[in-house]
Chains A and B, each alone.
Chain A
Amino acid sequence: MSPEKRGKPVVAWRSIPLAIFLTGAITSGTGAQSSDGSFMSPLRFIQRDGEVIYRTVCQGCHMSAAQGAVGAGEYPALANDPKLAAVGYSVLVVVNGSKDMPPFGTLLDDGQVAAVVNYVRSHFGNSYPDTVSPAEVRSARP
């Protein structure tokens, strides 16, 4: 996000205020607000548990039963999703994003990505027996 780190000028207004004005909040914005880790940091998700991450993050688009939603465009269902069979694919989509889905690689650490991927692949009618480890997530990062 930070325009300072890269070589070229960026005039997208959102990048600049965030880079400058969230810096101070990194250390000050972590007063206890919830027991499950939600609403605790403006910069990173703090939740550790896969189900909690799903409920407080993914559910915004993929919905509470992972059924997806349809409007002018749609959010894919993750329930009974054959695409999730390849664990590597699931990890890559969470880390890098896909089309309109934003990347979560900078907002979730390796353990959090593994936790939420493992949760979704074993719930909502999905029952893939294999799991992914934080170390495997790390090796999948660009």
Chain B
Amino acid sequence: MDETVTVRPDLSYAGWRETAATHRTAPMSRRHLLAMIGTAAGSSAMYQAMSTLGLAAGSTYQGPIRLEGDPKGASVLILGAGVAGLVAALELHKIGYKVQVLEYNDRAGGRCWSLRGGDRFTELGGFEQTCDFDKDLYFNPGPWRIPYHHCGILDYCKRLGVNLEPFIQVNYNAYLHARNAFGGKPQRLRHILSDFHGSVAELLAKAVNQDKLDQPVTAEDKELLLTALRQWGALDANYKYKSGVLSSDRRGYERDPGGGLSGEGVPSEPLLFAEILRSRVWYRLALGQIYDFQSTIFQPVGGMDMIARAFVREIGNLIHYNTKVIAIKQDDNHVMVTYVDARTGALPTTATADWCLCTIPLSVLDQIDLDLGKPMMDAINAVPYGAAAKIGLQFKRRFWEEDEQIYGGITYTDLPIWQLGYPNTSYGSSGKGVLLGAYVFDSPYAYEFTALPPEDRVKKAVEYGAQIHPQCKTEYENGIAVGWHRIPWVLGCFGRWTEETREQHYENLCAIDGRIALAGEHVSHIPAWQEGAVLSSLDAISRLHRRVVAS
């Protein structure tokens, strides 16, 4: 897409700012661009450009992949049945490739994974956990949300009949919490947000009214700005943010308006601005405005692994489970992959194919005997894997709904659990409920949770959670904890690229080495997202297929 179309000064995103600064051309309006395309290339080109801009704005997903040309019976080995491997298996099988998929686990999906009552898993070190949740309750230890602009994974959900429901990122009635602020009492997001905006608007309005801005504005703009500040910050006619109907319409009332004789609303009292500033809880205020976290966000009904299960319904017969790859070799004509039984380490077997798409995480791949050139080997060895921990907790009742009117969404805290995720489904049901009791990544806390035995992780999460919801203590039933560095088949959460490693190695990782190509979130510019796995897989199989058709 033309950069001038995408450069918008209102996107205060680190990457965008850089693009804007280096691209000095005046932004071109969308209408202007379309008119130019129409003049130059005729209306069909314009239609195509319009649909690209409109349907897939922002995403590089181009709609269902069209692989043209006959593979002429070519065979392909796909290593790993995570999202990248499943996408490749589905698409290549559909156009006539002979496809075999080797998967280490006894299930498909990889990190597209849900834990439900009765599930078991053993982490490295031999700690076995059984999920004691009730039958219909689950938690997603890996990805848990799908932004609306992740068009690739959403399209597979649509094509494969995976039902989606809203994932609540921002819940104004959930909490922001800091141990050393407000006496340790969690604060409703609506209070902090309204009072922060109102207080800032009041300060700025004062500066504007007194002509104290560094940059003078025209009289007309001054009026507009003052009107905007009043509207944005819920200020009164004197540009004050104070207790009353105006501010209570944002932050909520002390007593909500009701019916009948005693139904008069009682406005609430804003918090002191200085206290909000010192609390530092504002550092989470803009989270919901991050592009990836903007509404609408989705989750599959019933658990993230519904996506994996949908793929398995289509191409499950191609997957060979419980296989541990120990060598990937190639010559001029073939790829030879040797694997053993993942449970026993016995029965070495070699599978042969014309081509190979390898989606094994680099953390595991770097330990396999490989026949690859130095550039790709260097790339594989250059990417460490990030730390992350997630903990699911089952409680006897949905006290966050019953006692505190929190329906879905996330509470953020400076406690080591970082966040509490409320279930975005089955609201108001009278039975038990499962909270995401901790989600930390890329932080000492993530390493520290991982280093604990699973039962201690759960115990700590309940203790920390009780500092926000005291009911945690009495209502807790059971929990399950995933420290991603302990997961035997990925040894970490996601490929952790830096500027330097990406510049030096990324293209070499994407290149086709002989008859082998790689795919997965680690071969994308959106690491740790399923969309990265989908897009990298589509890109890799497109390039592989062109080579096959040309050969």
Chain B proximity of A78: nearest CB distance (Å): 14
Known contacts A60-B447, A71-B491, A72-B104; A21 and B179 CB within 8 A of each other: no
Is A45 interfacial (CB 8 A cutoff)? Answer: yes
Query: Contact: B496 with A28, CB < 8 Å?
Result: no
A19 vs B13: C-alpha distance in the bound complex, in angstroms? 12
**Closest B-chain residue to A68, C-beta based?**
B124
Contact of A11 among B15, B282, B496 (CB under 8 A): B15
Interface core residue of A16, A19, A102 (most chain B CB under 10 Å):
A102
Is A87 interfacial (CB 8 A cutoff)? Answer: no
Kindly supply a per-residue 1/0 record for chain B positions 264-286, scoring 1 wherever the CB is within 8 Å of any chain A CB and 0 otherwise.
00000000000000011111101
Please, which residues of chain A bring their CB within 8 A of the CB of B485?
A: 60-61
Query: Contact: A10 with B15, CB < 8 Å?
Result: yes
Name which of A36-44, A114-122, A124-132 contacts chain B.
A36-44
Query: Contact: B444 with A42, CB < 8 Å?
Result: yes
Is B433 interfacial (CB 8 A cutoff)? Answer: no
Please, which residues of chain B bring their CB within 8 A of the CB of A19?
A: 14
Chain A proximity of B183: nearest CB distance (Å): 13
Name which of B154-162, B473-481, B521-529 contacts chain A.
B521-529
- Report how many residues on chain B are interfacial, defined by Cβ distance under 8 Å: 73
Query: Contact: A14 with B447, CB < 8 Å?
Result: no
Interface core residue of A11, A33, A55, A59 (most chain B CB under 10 Å):
A11
Kindly supply a per-residue 1/0 record for chain A positions 6-18, scoring 1 wherever the CB is within 8 Å of any chain B CB and 0 otherwise.
1111111110111
Query: Contact: A3 with B14, CB < 8 Å?
Result: yes
Contact of A20 among B179, B281, B283, B442 (CB under 8 A): B283
Is B43 interfacial (CB 8 A cutoff)? Answer: no
Contact of A103 among B384, B441, B529 (CB under 8 A): B384
Band of interface residues on A: 35 or more
Query: Contact: B283 with A102, CB < 8 Å?
Result: no
Is A134 interfacial (CB 8 A cutoff)? Answer: no
A60 vs B388: C-alpha distance in the bound complex, in angstroms? 11
A137 vs B494: C-alpha distance in the bound complex, in angstroms? 28
Interface core residue of B17, B124, B487, B528 (most chain A CB under 10 Å):
B124
Query: Contact: A107 with B444, CB < 8 Å?
Result: yes
Interface core residue of A24, A42, A73, A101 (most chain B CB under 10 Å):
A73
Interface residues of A in 23-64 (CB under 8 A from B): 23-25, 27-29, 31, 33, 38-39, 41-45, 55-61, 63-64
State the 5 A-B residue pairs at the shortest beta-carbon distance, nearest first. A71-B488, A24-B283, A9-B15, A100-B363, A24-B280
Known: A42-B414, A72-B104; 16 extra A-B contacts, CB below 8 A, are A9-B16, A16-B14, A19-B14, A24-B282, A33-B416, A57-B451, A60-B483, A60-B486, A61-B486, A71-B488, A71-B491, A73-B363, A73-B491, A99-B384, A100-B364, A102-B387
Can you offer 24 A-B residue contacts whose CB atoms are under 8 A? A4-B14, A10-B14, A11-B15, A12-B526, A12-B527, A14-B386, A19-B14, A22-B443, A25-B280, A25-B414, A28-B179, A28-B280, A29-B414, A33-B416, A39-B416, A42-B443, A45-B447, A56-B448, A60-B483, A71-B488, A100-B383, A100-B492, A102-B386, A107-B444
